[in-house]
Structure 1
Amino acid sequence: MNTYEHRKGKAVVKIVAPDGAPLRMKEVVIRQTKHKFLFGCAEFAVVPLANDQLEGEQKEKALWVFEKFLDLFNFATLPFYWGRFEPVRGNPDTVRLKKAAQWLKERGCVSKGHPLCWHTVTAPWLLEMTNTEILSAQLARIRREVNDFAGLIDMWDVINEVVIMPVFDKYDNGITRICKEMGRIPLVREVFKAAREANPRGIFLINDFNVSEAYAILIEGLLEAGVTIDAIGIQSHMHQGYWGVEKTLEVLERFSQFNLPIHFTETTLVSGHLMPSHIEDLNNYKVQEWPSTPEGEERQAREAVLHYKTLFAWPNVEAITWWNFLDGGWLNAPAGFITKDGRIKPIYHELYKLIKGEWWTGEQRLVTDEDGTVIVDGYLGEYEMSCAGQTASFALDKSSEIEIQLS
């Protein structure tokens, strides 16, 4: 049976008048407003929406989609693929991405940038450079983005899929070139150093789809080399079928040995037919149509609930990000919460029951004691208190004492 006590906290909240006197025997209403745990999703359509690049029905649909998005999630991944972000050297897409991050921040959503260094979708113009110049450009790119977005985006997937990076052979690219020459650990050390110098308060992740011992060995080597990793990113793209609880727990055990936060950064389960098991690189599976089916939608919802429960019960896990809110994203897969024709799928409703139901602290009506205090128990996160016609906000952590002075 899953237990979630590690996700809860207790606070002694003291409410005082403007003169500092405790408010005795007053009714207090407590409501949770936000989770501390990061329940996230990637949906890059926020970029054109935030930049007023949509019109008519397209805009109306996007607004409706993000209303549903923000009702469920408090965390979003924004796209920083170098080849798209800066297809022409010296002309980065900074302004549009800043507007997207600001739009999300104003709506209480934390943003993460993905990725800063990756051999896929990287800048094509790197191939015109020497390896020394490529490394210099990569580090400058990291410093620029992390510095430019500080305060809007303070969390980054610094390097993506580095296990395969030096042996990647599908096509030539600048990042594989320098990783092959330098080696994985020296490259990771340099990119993390550049990111941390640009924003010492940032949260910096390594991220990979390879969840085998090879990734664990790499992380062990990085830590021994003195690289500070703030969280381990785990991809769980399950287009070929749900991992199952046993494999999920095996992965969690493998990466919990480092006593670092774990983020499930890219999670998918499809609601149509499963991708054939013989496909080794998921990118090689290309289909024109991949329809969502009623039985597939029930399966997707059922397995997503089990996956989230398994992860939420594991203390090291601090974030879960689904990959694409709408069907037809990566690989044209029916992996979203909403179909292409705008129908909300069962997965949305079932996860909503968890995130905003079972794992959400219901409204509490309390009365202050002689010291003007109430005890608040609930899931970690942000709360709103109403008392004597006034409201105030506070954060519920593991164990704390909070004083709120009414004006």
Structure 2
Amino acid sequence: MLFRNLEYDWQDMNRRTFLKTSGAGACWLAAPGLRGAEPNSTADEAELLSRAKEQIEKHRKGDGVIVVRDASGKPIANAILKLEQTRHQFLFGCNFFMFGRIRDPEREEEYRRRFASLLNYATLGFYWPYYEPERGKPIYDYTDKVTAWCREHGITCKGHPLVWDYADPKWLPQDFAEIRALSNARVREIVERFHGRIDIWDVVNEPTHLGRFKTRTGERAMAMGAVPYTAEALKIARAANPRALLLVNDYRTDPPFQQILEELREDGKLLFDAIGIQSHMHGGGWPLRKIWDVCSGPRAEKGRWAATTPEGEAAQAEYVPKFYTMLFAHPAVEALTWWDFADEGAWQGAAAGWLRKDMSPKPAYERLMKLLKDEWWTKAESRTNQHGEAAIRAFFGAHRVTAQLSDGRTSTKEIIWKRDQPNRREVSVN
């Protein structure tokens, strides 16, 4: 499925939530209309999932009309319409850091194949020490290859992160003014260079906890202050690509993060478009009710590592579909990135991937495939009325529609079903 020119209106996603998660876990829920049984009970979980499915029907699908006409524009009655989804508007993704870095060619190919089969969203790494190990020589050639492959396979790319104080390049100078100039130039150059290929950016990562890594970039950030430091990077990225979707990403959802977000304004307008919420859950899944609270009214949570066991895979397979159901149901969430896609090269060696190191799928991968490409995937058939119209309800995203006339003639067209917009599409049959 090739969608090289698919373009969504990212401005529709202002101030919505991008959620990045690591491990087998979830969030919490407590919003109007979702309260009921005792929190975290079996009955509560069943009720939450039931209500979440109703919310998915409400927020992730829309009604519309497809009109079939002949070459002269005359409506054609009694035409059979078949609609099949080819891509979600919602972004389901993982980091894609192992692209081109798996030594065994067969496992590398399997890694790519399984990624493209399931997902439409890839996070690419831009960590300064590794992206520019030698001053003035960033690894642009590598990113060019990844973005080209993603474009060929209809996968949207996000860059992560442009600014983060966790580590310094070995060559970084001592002077704060020089560090600031180099960082700003890096943001500008990268965003400009990948304009049109990467239009979603985690511009600043974890601005709530500056200085904890004892780096020169962190000391420079602390000297500036969290808000000026973050605002400067956002404004530079905005100037480099005015159409980009800019995020501030953090693992905290408590008042300090909220305060920073509120202060990131210029002339009353927010400097960012969306927020990224990390939710590391290697110690086990959050209660389902927490998911909604993180999206609607944040809480802070600490986790711990969990061991890798066959039982862990089974627990992951049971939990991940529930986690995705809760988040897909929340209208504030526009994208979900799982960390990592495979256990090979996973962050801190965590067995959080959906693929084992040999690239065989874990049960969670198969469960998600059924969810994303079956249960949440439009396959509809209808017939036009005397006005050449057929009413359709479909998930938002790209679809392939085929109109077949009684004499056997057919016409196929790619269409996009959009959220918050009237969906009236036409198919012409010559």
- Structure 1 length as normaliser, TM-score? 0.85
Once the two structures are TM-superposed, the CA of residue 14 in structure 1 deviates from its matched residue by 1.5
Indicate yes or no: 2:424 matched with 1:394: no
Once the two structures are TM-superposed, the CA of residue 21 in structure 1 deviates from its matched residue by 2.3
Identity of aligned residues (%): 36
**Matched residue, 1:206:** 248
The amino acid across from 1:172 in the alignment is: T
What aligned pairs does 1:161-240 form with structure 2 within 5 A after superposition?
A: 161-165=206-210, 167-168=211-212, 170-174=213-217, 176-223=218-265, 226-240=269-283
Once the two structures are TM-superposed, the CA of residue 347 in structure 1 deviates from its matched residue by 0.8
Indicate yes or no: 2:383 matched with 1:367: yes
* Residues 165, 215 of structure 2: 8 Å contact kept: no
The amino acid across from 2:219 in the alignment is: R
**Matched residue, 2:204:** 159
**Matched residue, 1:338:** 355
Indicate yes or no: 2:395 matched with 1:353: no
* Residues 192, 227 of structure 1: 8 Å contact kept: no
What aligned pairs does 1:12-31 form with structure 2 within 5 A after superposition?
A: 12-31=65-84
**CA separation of 1:123/1:45 partners in 2, compared to 1, >3 Å: closer, same or farther?**
same
Among 307, 310, 314, which residue is 2:330 paired with? 314
Distance 1:218 1:354 in 2: 36
Once the two structures are TM-superposed, the CA of residue 138 in structure 1 deviates from its matched residue by 1.0
What aligned pairs does 1:246-257 form with structure 2 within 5 A after superposition?
A: 246-254=289-297
Distance 1:25 1:250 in 2: 48
What aligned pairs does 1:323-334 form with structure 2 within 5 A after superposition?
A: 323-328=339-344, 329-334=346-351
* Residues 361, 379 of structure 1: 8 Å contact kept: yes
Residue-by-residue CA offset, 1:208-251 (whole Å, 9 max, x unaligned): 11222221222122247644211110011111221222332322
**Matched residue, 1:285:** none
* Residues 81, 122 of structure 1: 8 Å contact kept: no
Distance 2:95 2:163 in 1: 18
Once the two structures are TM-superposed, the CA of residue 255 in structure 1 deviates from its matched residue by 5.3
**Matched residue, 1:284:** none
* Residues 47, 97 of structure 1: 8 Å contact kept: no
Once the two structures are TM-superposed, the CA of residue 71 in structure 1 deviates from its matched residue by 1.3
Distance 1:10 1:137 in 2: 50
**Matched residue, 2:187:** 142
Residue-by-residue CA offset, 1:42-83 (whole Å, 9 max, x unaligned): 12122448xxxx6xxx12221122211111111010111111
- Does 1 or 2 have the higher relative contact order (CA < 8 Å, sep 6+)? 2
**Matched residue, 1:68:** 114
Residue-by-residue CA offset, 1:141-181 (whole Å, 9 max, x unaligned): 1111111001111001000011112x32x33232x122111
**Matched residue, 1:263:** none
* Residues 43, 323 of structure 1: 8 Å contact kept: no
The amino acid across from 1:211 in the alignment is: T
* Residues 174, 216 of structure 2: 8 Å contact kept: no
Distance 2:368 2:128 in 1: 33
Distance 1:12 1:382 in 2: 15
* Residues 203, 237 of structure 2: 8 Å contact kept: yes
* Residues 165, 221 of structure 2: 8 Å contact kept: no
Once the two structures are TM-superposed, the CA of residue 335 in structure 1 deviates from its matched residue by 0.5
Indicate yes or no: 2:136 matched with 1:86: no
> Paired residues, what number?
365
RMSD (CA atoms): 2.0
Query: Which segments of 5 or more consecutive residues in structure 2 lack a partner in the other structure?
Result: 1-49, 404-408
**Matched residue, 2:305:** 275
Once the two structures are TM-superposed, the CA of residue 87 in structure 1 deviates from its matched residue by 1.1
- Structure 2 length as normaliser, TM-score? 0.80
Indicate yes or no: 2:86 matched with 1:33: yes
**Matched residue, 2:19:** none
Distance 1:98 1:172 in 2: 29
Distance 2:321 2:263 in 1: 34
Once the two structures are overlaid, the 10-residue window that deviates more, 96-105 or 339-348, is 339-348
Query: Which segments of 5 or more consecutive residues in structure 1 lack a partner in the other structure?
Result: 257-268, 277-289
* Residues 10, 397 of structure 1: 8 Å contact kept: no
What aligned pairs does 1:68-147 form with structure 2 within 5 A after superposition?
A: 68-126=114-172, 128-147=173-192
Distance 2:278 2:322 in 1: 17
